[in-house]
Homo-oligomer: A and B are copies of this chain.
């Protein structure tokens, strides 16, 4: 039996673990530089994100982390930053329960759009999003300056 609920401070270590697992899956094992303490401060003191967790027999096995963004076309939107379910807990509809919860939250907040990104090789995720008739657009490329580039900028 899977239970979906809002994350609490007590879930932070588990959520941080899932973030790290997702980074490994996305072939960026060293990308996570924030600590569980950072995550707790960002989420529960600075209110930078919201998070749903999926719990199975008292253990957190998945999560959906999201926050509000702004579109100059559509106004406030909901951005789904991470959606992750541990491999051994997949195939039971848990991802769908989590994603549904975020869409309902977007509906409750009257979001002008809900958006997320997906890696082009992540076929299971792409097929999952297609079941929602989501638009999946390869035309927008992601530009970034990293922290070192920013801090050395004059």
Report which A residues bind B (CB closer than 8 A): 19, 22-23, 28, 31-34, 38-39, 42, 46, 48-49, 65, 67-76, 79, 81-82, 100, 103-104, 106-107, 110-121, 126, 129, 132-147, 149-151, 153
Check B138 against A141 for contact (C-beta < 8 Å): yes
Interchain CA distance A146-B65 in the complex, whole Å: 19
Interchain CA distance A113-B81 in the complex, whole Å: 15
Of A22, A104, A137, most buried by chain B (CB within 10 Å of CB) is A137
Contacts of A136 in B (CB 8 A): 141-143
- Shortest beta-carbon distance from A9 to chain B in Å: 16
Check B140 against A115 for contact (C-beta < 8 Å): no
Check A144 against B120 for contact (C-beta < 8 Å): no
Check B134 against A73 for contact (C-beta < 8 Å): no
Check B135 against A115 for contact (C-beta < 8 Å): no
Known: A141-B138, A142-B136. A34 touches B75 (CB 8 A): yes
Contacts of A146 in B (CB 8 A): 113, 135
Check A107 against B144 for contact (C-beta < 8 Å): no
Partner of A111, one of B79, B132, B133, B147: B147
Closest B residue by C-beta to A132: B145
